[in-house]
Each structure stands twice: as structure tokens, then as C-alpha cells.
Structure 1
């Protein structure tokens, strides 16, 4: 290695930066970057988990983020080289970026045997949830149980990538009763597979699992806290005048309905394995009419009430009231051995609606918008427009907190 310099003091370091006429300097010490003698021509980057109000200093949380910012995002050429490294036997020939909806980057990789999907998960230094591990484990389990999911091909923990079977087809349609029936069958088969597991330690909890109402309440409060520092008058007006009063009223009502069960953890025998982000928004209809379900980054154990409510409320599903009632009717039959299922659903559905309203406001959060931009390159040009659109959706979602579902 060449051009390595050691400075014993801050002044020595800053003088060396000036002498070298650096374009960019990265440091984890804020006091170096804010020093009055720091050269004005050098771009300042604060590295680490902290934040800073100085507009002249960029904050970056990982070396992947630094690389993307300074040298541009990884392109198809780099992805192709990575795919050949991860799976050399596939004879990968070309790569094309596919615009995503969520938080991971998707590429279509052409091989001598056809197409496969290459999924680049969010940077672990920014989002430490083990999405790749969870999805890889889930896909293998679901394949073993002969459920319609993409075949896992290869994964790489160092790159935080996975290669998965590419599925050709059209998006599933929530207005199509046959598609809704297939979704219900998938959950039925998954629930049966859940009960066939001899050791509950094979899977952890689903992401943001809610095994008692206080879990939901805590998640809502955490999401509210994350929005507290956002300076936006329209957002503040919605939260202060609409969402917060609804939350207080809803918690009181839920506690009255559940009484002693509000703080009790759901008995394990009623848990079910859940994709956590399940619905027709994560399904492809093949030319033969079969649905293939994908996106299992959040897979794990959860209360079936949360699974049921999430399918009804997920904005990607857009179920009308009749379709929601059909789904709830199927869920009641599937989870009939849980005598309190209906009571919990009625009591907690409004809280899940509030939680979803806050999820829709993720575009206002700096920690979440980075993941969105990671997957959706076109979003960069109109973040403000996306925020206002999501705010209107959150207002509509909040109306579900006043609904009775049973």
C-alpha cells in the first residue's frame, strides 16, 4: 500500500489534508470535519451511525454507501462478475436491472439454462436485519413442503446476495377470486407445515411479530418517535390532530375488549409461520394460471391475527370490503382451533390499521428512504411528491381504525 500518512494531532491531520489537496476526506470524528482550519475545497464525509446538522458534511453509515456515493452504484458489469463468482457453473451471460418496489435491488441474470433473479439485500451496516438468511431459510423450507415459491439457487453471505429462480408471468390480481383462493390455500398449507415442525427453534420470530397487543403498541410508539424530529407541517398536523387521538381511543377500546389477555403472550400452540409481508402484491400468475409467491425476507413465527389483518390492510392488496370479509371468513375457518381468534382480530384490527398508516409514512424517515432509493432508482427525482402521496394514503388507512370487522 502506498500514500499512507500518520498524524499525531488534529492540526497535523488537517495540514496534511490541505497539502494533499484531497477531493474528499472521510473521518469518524466530527471535530476534525468541523475544525475552522479544515480546507474548504475538500468534501467532508462523517462515517458512522451518528447524524450531524452541518449541511456541508455528508453522513454515510457504511463502505457500500461510500462507494455508491463517490463512484456510483454497482452496475450490470459488476453484478455479472459477482454472479459468475457466486455461481460459476451457471454460465451467466448478461444482467439487467429490474425496478423494485421494496428495499432490495433485483437484477435479471441470463444464463445458458435460462433466467434467474439476483437479489441484492440492503446494506447490513444500515439495516442489520438478516433478510437474506431469513429468505433463504424460508425458500428452502417452502420448497421442501412443495409450495409454489421460486427455487433457491445460490446465496453468498459476504456479498449479501442471493440467486433465485426467475418466474415469468403477470402480477396477481386482488380482484380475481381464483387468485384470492390460491392465496388462502397457500396460508392453509403453510399453517399445516408449521404444525409439522418438531422443533420450534428452526425459525425465529417474523419481523415485527406481534404476540401480544403490547408488541403492536410498542411498534406504533417507536414509529411515532422516529417521525418526531421530522419538520413538516402537513405531517405534524396529521399525526397530532388525527392519528395520535385515534391511537389513544383505540388502545383504550382494545384493552376493554381483551381485558387480562392484553398483556399476555399468545400460547405457542396458536402461533403460525408467516411470510409477514404476504399478499397478492408478492405473487406472480404464471401463463398456466398458478400463483407463485415470493419475498420472504421477514419470514418467521407470528400471531395468525396479524397475518390476517395485514392481508386485509396491505396497500399492495387493495382489497375491497367484500374481498376482505371473504379473506377473514377463510382465516376464521383455518384458525378455528384458536377460540380467541375472532376476539383478538376485532380488538387489534384498528391498531394494525394505525401501524400501517405509520408504515406508509416511511418516506419521511431518512433511515427508510435510503432503502427505498436502493431499490427504486426513479424515486430519487421526486421524494417530496412520494411523501405527499404517502401522506394521503396514510389518511385513508387511518379510517380503518374505526371499522368493525366481525
Structure 2
């Protein structure tokens, strides 16, 4: 998976916990573990055992964050694995009390944006379609799932509003406040007005609930930032802690708005067309896919700025990413770049 990070590999309590999970899975006990770098919200360890490496994932929990990260990921991967989908790690065992999961280890590396090809995008589309093959299980709604246009707007509105009060202890907080007040808030006001106008032109009622047959099972936070590619070119998708039932328009928008491995907007329309055919999307769903792209550029700007919120700071401390001031400066630059994409033309 990711490159190992120097940690205390003799943590007896953690290794003992890993051994209990491997016993539950019927696998040989691990003899050592190594912390893997790159976990943004969680702690991820490579376990060394006689029959090969495994992964132990410990999920972040906080009284201020009600997300069931383990439950969402375990349910989604278990569904995919039961359908014969092998583009995800194998779920082996979990401990809900300790918020930990045991998974197969995936050999591979992260893709870069420069490496992306139409074939990689097609693999992502095929994964979504395979996960959504009927009959679908009744998974819980995904994180921040939206089932009407009004809910999409309200979700972004909440995130923008949260950024009105930032943690004064976070490095570069003054610059972050300036970005929020001078750029983010006015841009969101313009985007929201555009959605309201577009919805009216399309005859879409803001409060109209999306019908059950127009929902999908969404990986959430879906993109090549959460994927590894091996030497043979096979993609494996990771990190489904926000997964669940959702609006396909949110899945599409997240896929194109995630900032780490940007997907060219030139294939936005193709992605919508393929999902329309494969999922049987109606005209209203297609319209939402097109209308909401800029709203999710705003939402992802807010996500990038999460480090400046108290809860974001707690999550990063749990994941122990280090280089705090440097990271905050980098997040500011990413947020500015993301805002510049609002209104970008997505036609080929």
C-alpha cells in the first residue's frame, strides 16, 4: 500500500489486538507491524505473518463526529466481495468495540494525474456499475448523503458556515479566514444562485425526493486518490468509510472534484452518459449531475480547509501526519486552486 513510516513496532497491546483479529479470521498470527504513511483520518498498519502481509485499520472516533467509519467500510466491502468484485481489499475480520478492521494487503502504488488514461476512468465506471448490479442490499445512507436538490445545497451551506469560525491555534489561520470571507463565501453565493436558476429552467423542484430506483450504492470520496495500481496495471479501490446509499449526482461530482488526483473535466459528460446507461438514470438525475458540479467544487474547497477546524485538527492528530504548519500552508494553496475551477468548462 503506502510507504512505511517509522513507529514503535513493539507496541504489545496493538500487536495483541491484531493477533486476536487474525485468529478470528483463521489466519496465522502476525509477528510484527509497521505503521503505513498516508492515512488522513485513521491509523493503518501492515502486519507481517507467515502467509503474507495483512492490513490492520484503526478508525478515528470522536463524540463530535457521529460517522460509523468502520460500519460503512465493512458493509460496502463485504457487499462488493460477496458479488465477486475483486477490485477492493478482502474483508477478513472486524472489532466494532475497538473500531478496527483486518483486510488483505494490496500491493501497488498511487497513480498521478499525469498517468491517468481513459482506461483508468473506464475501470472506475465499471467498478461503480458492478457494485450497483441488482439486487442491491439496503445499505445505510452514505456520509452526507443527499436525496433532494435542497439537501445538496444545505450540505454545502453547512460546510461553508462552519468555516466562519476557525481554530485560532492552527497555523496560517489568518490567511484561511481571509480566503473564506473574501473568496469562498461570495463564490458559493453565486454558485447557489446558478443552481436555483438552473433547477427552475429544468423544472426540478428543490424539495422533491429522489426516488429509490434513482439512488445508487456510492463508494463516497471516490477517485484515484483512493486507489492503488499494481505492476500489471490492475486498479484496486480503497477507503470506503463514507460509503452507502446516495444520489448518483453526488458520486459523479465527488469523482471529478476530489483534488488529489484530478480527473479531467473533459470526460465529465462521458462519465454521466455511462452511468445513465448502466444505472438507468432519468432526466432529473442527469440534470442534477450537471447542475451540481460547481457546488461540489465549493464543498471540496471546504473539505480541504477542514484542517483549520477544531475537529479537523483532532482527526489529523490521530492520524499523526506531522509537519503541521507546512501542511496547513499547502492546504491553503490547494483551496485557492480548487476555487479557481468553479465555472470551468467541462465540455470535451
Same fold (TM over 0.5): yes
Match of residue 118 from structure 2: 177
- Quote the offset at 1:396 in angstroms: 1.6
Structure 1 gaps, min length 5: 1-71
Matched, 1:190 2:134: no
8 Å Cα contact 1:168-1:286 kept in structure 2: yes
CA distance in 1, matches of 2:266, 2:291: 20
Matched, 1:86 2:21: yes
- Quote the offset at 1:403 in angstroms: 2.9
- Quote the offset at 1:384 in angstroms: 2.5
Match of residue 247 from structure 1: 188
Change (3 A) 1:126 1:277: same
Moved more, 288-297 or 213-222: 213-222
Match of residue 163 from structure 1: 102
- Quote the offset at 1:388 in angstroms: 2.2
Match of residue 42 from structure 1: none
| Aligned pairs (5 A) from 1:221-260 | 221-230=157-166, 231=168, 232-259=173-200, 260=204
Count of aligned pairs between the two proteins: 327
8 Å Cα contact 1:220-1:355 kept in structure 2: yes
- Quote the offset at 1:126 in angstroms: 5.1
TM-score (norm 2): 0.87
Change (3 A) 1:354 1:402: same
Moved more, 73-82 or 310-319: 73-82
Matched, 1:142 2:80: yes
Matched, 1:349 2:293: yes
Q: Secondary structure at the match of 1:211?
A: coil
CA distance in 2, matches of 1:298, 1:186: 17
Match of residue 93 from structure 2: 154
Q: Secondary structure at the match of 1:114?
A: coil
Match of residue 142 from structure 2: 206
User: Aligned match of 2:283 in 321, 332, 339?
Assistant: 339
8 Å Cα contact 2:219-2:243 kept in structure 1: yes
Moved more, 312-321 or 226-235: 226-235
Which of the pair has the greater relative contact order for Cα pairs under 8 Å at 6+ separation? 2
- Quote the offset at 1:282 in angstroms: 1.3
Q: Secondary structure at the match of 1:301?
A: strand
- Quote the offset at 1:106 in angstroms: 0.3
8 Å Cα contact 1:95-1:109 kept in structure 2: yes
CA distance in 1, matches of 2:58, 2:93: 13
Change (3 A) 1:394 1:278: same
Match of residue 4 from structure 2: none
CA distance in 2, matches of 1:169, 1:236: 38
- Quote the offset at 1:80 in angstroms: 1.0
8 Å Cα contact 1:134-1:299 kept in structure 2: yes
Matched, 1:398 2:339: yes
- Quote the offset at 1:329 in angstroms: 4.3
Match of residue 77 from structure 1: 12
Structure 2 gaps, min length 5: 1-6
